[in-house]
Amino acid sequence: MRFPLIMLALLTSLLPGCSKYESPDYQVLRSEGAFQIRDYPALTVVSTTMHHGGTDGSFMKLFRYISGRNEQSAKISMTTPVLTTGTTSGTMSFVLPKAVAIKGAPAPSNSDVTLHELPGARYASYRYSGSSNPGSGEKAAAKLLAWAQEQHLHTEGHPIFAYYNPPWTPGFMRRNEVMIRLVPEGLHTSARP
């Protein structure tokens, strides 16, 4: 049973377009095993509210937007990763391709979908494999936060989860990441609220 899954995943990764989605550029400032510190530029994203780990149709709302359900009926290429601000509830986002962001992304036609820009920032990240279930994500977030504390990094906000692979990819072959924004040097205080 395991062999056919491995072959399917390998064949899928070799098909044109299956593993060649555009991903945001970032600069790695430091690496330590599965941990990195990265600088990201500003990113244009399309987002919607997510409940029940995304089984509420949030992914399809975003997919319909890039499939042409927007005010210009424009088809937009899929990118990776899919971003979420929680493991069970929060926000789900697609990063729009760089060319679309530069040209000006079409407004959503669904009021549940919003278009906005994430400002450029520095993030600590941790890469892990496995399924995108809440338990895996929460363990990964705990590892990232513990590492950030050991490194005396000052964080802000909630972890962001990044999923790079289609759902049929076997867990051991998946690229998942959790990231948290870092407070720029000199802007943090020892008594942050």
- pLDDT at position 169, please? 86
- pLDDT at position 5, please? 44
- pLDDT at position 52, please? 79
Would 34 be classed as within a structural domain? yes
The fraction of the chain above a pLDDT of 70, given in percent, is: 85
Would 50 be classed as within a structural domain? yes
Q: What is the mean pLDDT of residues 61-74?
A: 97
More confident residue, 191 or 175: 175
Would 190 be classed as within a structural domain? no
Of 98, 135, 118, 124, the closest CA to residue 177 belongs to: 124
> Which residue segment(s) compose the domain that 68 sits in?
21-182
Would 188 be classed as within a structural domain? no
Would 143 be classed as within a structural domain? yes
Residue 100's CATH number: 3.20.80.10
- pLDDT at position 186, please? 59
Q: How many domains does the chain have?
A: 1
- pLDDT at position 62, please? 97
Q: What is the mean pLDDT of residues 139-146?
A: 97
Q: What is the mean pLDDT of residues 60-78?
A: 97
Would 155 be classed as within a structural domain? yes
Distances (CA, A) of 187 to 155, 157, 183: 11, 15, 7
CA–CA gap between residue 101 and residue 105 (Å, rounded): 6
Distances (CA, A) of 109 to 9, 47, 113, 131, 189: 35, 13, 8, 32, 43
Would 84 be classed as within a structural domain? yes
Give me 129's structure tokens.
């494999």
- pLDDT at position 187, please? 55
- pLDDT at position 7, please? 44
Would 4 be classed as within a structural domain? no
Residue 57 scores a pLDDT above 80: yes
- pLDDT at position 56, please? 83
